[in-house]
Structure 1
Amino acid sequence: MAPIYSAESINSFFVNQVKDYAIFATDTNGIITAWNKGAERLKGYTEEEIVGQFYGILHPDEYQQVGYPEKELQKALDNGSFENEDWRKKKDGSLFWATVTLTPIYDESGQHIGFTKITGDLTKQKELQDKLAERQQNALERKNSELQRTNNDLDNFIYTASHDLRSPITNIEALMLYLEEKLKEENALTPETQEVLQRVLDSVDRFKRTIEDLAEISRVQKDSTQDATDIVTNIKDVYEDIMADLNYPSKQKACFIQTDFQVSQLNFSKKNFRSILYNLLSNAIKYQAPDRDCIIRVTTRLEEPYVVLRAKDNGLGMNPKQQEQLYGMFRRFHDHVEGTGVGLYMVKRIVDNADGKIEVESKEGEGTEFRVYFQEAM
């Protein structure tokens, strides 16, 4: 007949035969009172060596110095248990990565009588995780390096192409002007011929503007690799400089522009800030509504940690689909005004390169507001 064991005996046999986890008990002050074979194998202490010692001896020295073991006990009492993955110390002083569970014990009357602690060794899993993380980091760095090379190659191509195209397109323009002059001298310039010549010259002009925009995109990318945050830009000076350059199209009314520059200076590249503000203002002027006065409001505010530039108009506005495509290269939504469709693409690129952000709110038939967030202020 098989012997009959009490529940307490069975629990004791079970705990002592668990080899892969350290299981031990402490009194209410964290003094070790019981120690299983798994704890001896994992920690290195025999039961005789460890019983009667404060369980904090199993923590790294720096943890003991700041009272981390005592904080664990309190958290277990406050929350019903304490679970964590962290470093633990063996008898020989070596550290291992462990999963730990600390649970308070209560008697039948609800009186707190101690704690149980279960510790598992996760060193191999951590080593695998660290290796995987290292590989992922290396792969990310390689990918970033490849993307940087691709961007550099693309920018070099854009710069070279735009540079090499200037000469032939300039020659074409000169030849067309020469042809127009010769036809006039010989009284051979008919209205039909004049229209064809003008269309060619208009196409040449659009091509030249596209080349200039491509060169500007390349410049923006090259500038992004240089630290320009030490440049103090006076916002009002840039605004006045832009307004001196802006010419209103003859078919459009002049716009009334209100300004309120509560932030007057910015640690930002003057060229890049001018490009941003110029594009926002020129678009607001170009896309004004024909049936009402054109009103544009430009402001700067400190909204920590940003300086926010707002440009709000009461122009044509955009529908949601147009807003989704807003920052794509060569995107244009209205054909009745001149443009190449790269201005907002450049604005977005400048802002992204400077770790800022740009937002837009627009409603078709009512107007548009752009908000550009800059990191640095004075």
Structure 2
Amino acid sequence: MPTKNQQIADLVQLNEDLENYFANTIIPQLFVDADLILRKFTPPAMRQFNLKGEHIGKPLEEISENFRHHTLLENIKTVISTGKILEKEIQTTDMRWYQMNILPYIVRKTKATNGVIITFVDITPRITDLKEQEKLIAEHELLLDTITHDIKNPILAMGLTLEFLKKQPDQQKLVKLLENLDSSLNGIKNIVESLVDNRWGSQRYQAAEELLDIQNIIEDVRLAIAPQVLESGAIINQDIQASELTFVRRKLRSVLYNLINNAIKYTPTSRPPKIMIKTYQEKKHFVISVTDNGIGISKKDREHIFEKFQRIKPTTEGSGVGLYLVNTIVASSGGKITIDSEPGTGTTFKIFLRLPNHTSSKR
């Protein structure tokens, strides 16, 4: 049985270890007790959130502005009451993005939650990269679409001209010209077909399919549109009943990015966007459902919504290519899209992706 002096020495050593840990960690961390009083923070947290020594012992409510996260106190209360870890992306006053993890501090003897430990992982580069990647993908696909679209009309005109010339009197020089024209026309056709095959076919430039977790893709999209979510106050909920599928990562991310981004874009500013993402398996299909509370789509507009350069609301920023790309990606994989919408109330897009049984799993 250790003596009292030994117990005190052990406590002093434990406290010294804890102080050394807090002093040397490179991650911003806060320790907040059950009464929402700030008890300790690491040096990186001091620098990042402009904290000072006098903040220790103060209610977090008095310094919450330093974190630029208006639901921070509510999030802490939730973790204390439930004992469950909470993860969320937040933006700080210097406009950087962090993955905030709130972990319950549980007293081993009583198993009661006596506060929380909050860690912040800088994800600004990841968000920047994702946004840039989505921009490059959109520009690349728009360029390819524009080339294939714009080159079809000259091909058609050349074909009609060729047919007309073939009906003219058979002269040797004319025949030679026709042969050259025919050869050029076939060359252009081959270029277009090659371009389309390289984009959607199984050529070597085609991205490979892989086993994906839908929640990871949703998380990537959430990070890519984080500024829009913050500005609009959008609430994105999930009901994931089927989690895994085999698909091309870039294409699946593009599908979700466009649907979720549109849901935010086409919600009136008078109300915050509310988006529900559901996934489930229906027979041989992996179904992704995205429901919003936006302006809705009229029956007339639904007939043309997937056409290139078509937009529901011409005054809204965009190129009118997003849903065209979504439909092209889904159709090229053998899937389909359905729309259920009520103007003024909202819209539900359902994506049906055909899957072999071994590529999907239920939770």
TM-score band, normalised by shorter chain: 0.3 to 0.5
The structure having more radius of gyration, on CA atoms, is 1
* TM-score with structure 1 setting the length: 0.42
Q: Using structure 2 for the length normalisation, give the TM-score.
A: 0.43
